[in-house]
Amino acid sequence: MSEFKLTRYRIRVSESLRGPQQPFSAILLSDLHNMSYGEGNSVLLQAIRNEKPEAVFVAGDMLISEKPEPQMDVALALMDELTKQYPVYYVEGNHEYKVRRYAEAYGSEGDRFFEAIRSFGVHLLKNACERIDIQKMPITVWGLELPWQCYKRFGKNALTTAQVTELLGEPDEDRYNILLAHHPVYFEAYAAWGADLTLAGHLHGGIVRLPYFGGVITPQLRFFPKYDRGLFKRRGKQMVVSAGLGSHSIPIRINNPPELVVLDFT
Q: Where on the chain is the footprint of Fe ion (CB under 5 A)?
A: 61, 93-94, 202
Apex CA 164: angle with CA 159 and CA 167, to 5°? 120
> How far is Cα 179 from Cα 200, in angstroms, rounded to an integer?
9
Smallest distance, Fe ion to C-beta of residue 170, A:
27
Cis, bond preceding 68 (omega within 30 deg of 0):
yes
Smallest distance, Fe ion to C-beta of residue 225, A:
12
Nearer to Fe ion, 35 or 139 (CB): 35
> How far is Cα 166 from Cα 161, in angstroms, rounded to an integer?
9
Helix H or strand E segment including 239: strand 237-241
- DSSP code per residue over 30-97: ---TT--SSGGGHHHHHHHHHT--SEEEE-S--SB--SSS-B-HHHHHHHHHHHHHS-EEE---HHHH
Nearer to Fe ion, 17 or 76 (CB): 76
Smallest distance, Fe ion to C-beta of residue 111, A:
20
| 173: number of Cβ within 10 Å | 9
Smallest distance, Fe ion to C-beta of residue 61, A:
4
**Cβ-Cβ contacts under 8 Å for 42 (sequence gap 6 or more):** none
Nearer to Fe ion, 87 or 244 (CB): 244
Nearer to Fe ion, 54 or 61 (CB): 61
> Which residue number is nearest to Fe ion in terms of Cβ?
202
Smallest distance, Fe ion to C-beta of residue 19, A:
31
Nearer to Fe ion, 87 or 246 (CB): 246
Smallest distance, Fe ion to C-beta of residue 116, A:
20
